Amino acid sequence: MFYVEEGTVFLIDKPIDWTSFDTVNFIRSLFMRFYGIRKLKVGHAGTLDPLATGLLILCAGPMTKQIEDFQAQVKTYTGTMILGQTTPTFDLESDPDNFYPTEGITAEQIDQARQQFIGDIKQYPPKYSAIKIKGKRAFDYARSDEEIELKARDIHIDDFKVNMDRFPELDFEVTCSKGTYIRSLANDFGKALNNGACLKTLRRTRIGEFHVEDAWQLEDLKQAIIDSGEEYREWKKQNEISKT
């Protein structure tokens, strides 16, 4: 049973093609339906793109006040980027717009480029992002071909590992601060090689001390909510009687 109205934190393993808000709305609607809750505040602590999977922290009830604390924690991601091409969205949500030859890129060049992104750096967010500029999302400007000025942001990358075993696809692991766009990191990494790169897959594995191995699969959580709904309604009824 989940005491969501008293405040609860859920670790979710977000599936691919779900937005973070899809996940929030899905969980909220389940509790409202099966727990008989008329109104429930639910929020997430850090967006994952639809093509990304992995750890998403959901806060319900009073725990939504802790969202900023969770968002501020260090995060770890694993994924794959493709060398030799770029896309407008910096990932595979859009088609490639440029191709580059990858022959001749060496392991030494890969390592030198990797080291440029460790520590305190400035990063420009993707133009296809949810950042607000003058009250409008950046991706809305991009979709209407309006020119916008994106400002560089200060971020910190603790560690950035790159594996060349499947070159020109590069598997990676990065541990970074709040506000880091891994899509931008892939794009900038390609530029550092005088080439191009885009993100193929992305998975968030850790936020602070929380790990994706401890997270709920959505279908399992759905069933747990359904199974415990009647018990919760009875508990709430008895709790209200005891207060009178």
Catalytic residue among 49, 97, 188, 227: 49
CA distance 68 to 123: 21
Query: How big is the chain, counted in residues?
Result: 244
CA distance 108 to 173: 18
Dihedral of CA atoms 182, 115, 197, 205 in degrees, nearest 10, equals -30
For 45, 162, 189, 207, the CA distances from 165, given in Å and listed in that order, are: 34, 9, 17, 27
CA distance 142 to 198: 18
Buried b (16+ CB within 10 A) or exposed e, 39-63: ebebbbbbebbebbbbbbbbbbbeb
Instruction: Indicate if 49 belongs to the active site.
Output: yes
Residue partners of 241: CB distance under 8 A and separation at least 6: none
Taking the CB of residue 227, how many other CB atoms lie within 10 A of it?
Answer: 11
CA distance 84 to 197: 6
Positions marked catalytic: 49
